[in-house]
Structure 1
Amino acid sequence: METLQHRFVEFIPEVLDEGILYITMEYRTAVHMCVCGCGNEVITPFSPTDWHLRFYGDSVSIYPSIGSWSFKCRSHYWITRNRIEHAESWNDREVQQGRDADKMNKKSFYDEKSQEPKFEKPGTKLNRKTKKWSLKSFFSFLGFK
């Protein structure tokens, strides 16, 4: 297979067509049949620490690469502007290093996220018990008096 056609859907269908990359923005996920033809479903969730989708209007790219290491086929490829770019297969050591790096990236991202300072604009009041802005505070935050 050399290309995938993208299709934006609300829900992923139960039966997938080969050659179609189903994308659901509501669930931040893309699903397609493995491009090697083995029949496995490949799921790529979108998040700051997983895959990213780039939409160009007439085509899409997903990055980083897709490595189907838990499948017998062990396919490895990129989806770039709807085209499949096959990549070298990884050995078991490389796969483990990649998984370890993913775990470290996730931990680092979420540890930093929990450490982010919470800034308040002067003159606004956040009700600390309910963590809600009053309507007056909200409009003040937007610059209205």
Structure 2
Amino acid sequence: MKRQTYTFRFVEFMPKVLDEGALYVSMTYATASHRCFCGCGMKVVTPLSPTDWRLTFDGDSLSLYPSIGNWSYPCRSHYILRGNRVVWAGPMSDTDVRAVRDADVRDKRRYYHQRLDPQAAPVPSAVLPSAHASARPPRWWRRMLDWFR
């Protein structure tokens, strides 16, 4: 059954068995993990980093950004964890998933290129190869980004 809310637990090490409906966060290892909130029970690991997921904790609630898309799992669930609530997002086509993954690769290359050489000019997107380099983000993606602004 799809969850609508979740609890969170700060831990140093991830437990061997993850409780249903709980988001575990290890600041020591910059990782968050939970069982898929669609109810399928698959373990979802979200690394926390400038190029992966970002965590926001306001003392009362916890959020992760960007959305979680379990495209490699049979459930293919897609949701946003915002303020201890699971916000269900729409499905994505394989083409959209590829475009998001390609953008993630470009973002990582750009970020780590600038980290290795802070004096270097940013790498233009045209230099970074992508099958969808000229494609605009899908409309649903722009709406989701606007929702966070």
Task: Give the TM-score range, shorter chain.
Answer: 0.7 to 0.9
Counterparts of residues 1-145 of structure 1 (less than 5 Å): 1-117=3-119
Runs of 4+ aligned residues of structure 1 deviating over 2 Å after TM superposition are none
SS state at 1:111 partner: helix
The percent identity for this pair of structures is 52
Q: CA deviation at 1:56?
A: 0.9
Structure 2 unaligned spans of 5+: 120-149
Distance 1:61 1:20 in 2: 13
How many pairs were matched up?
A: 117
Larger Rg: 1
Distance 2:30 2:115 in 1: 20
RMSD: 0.6
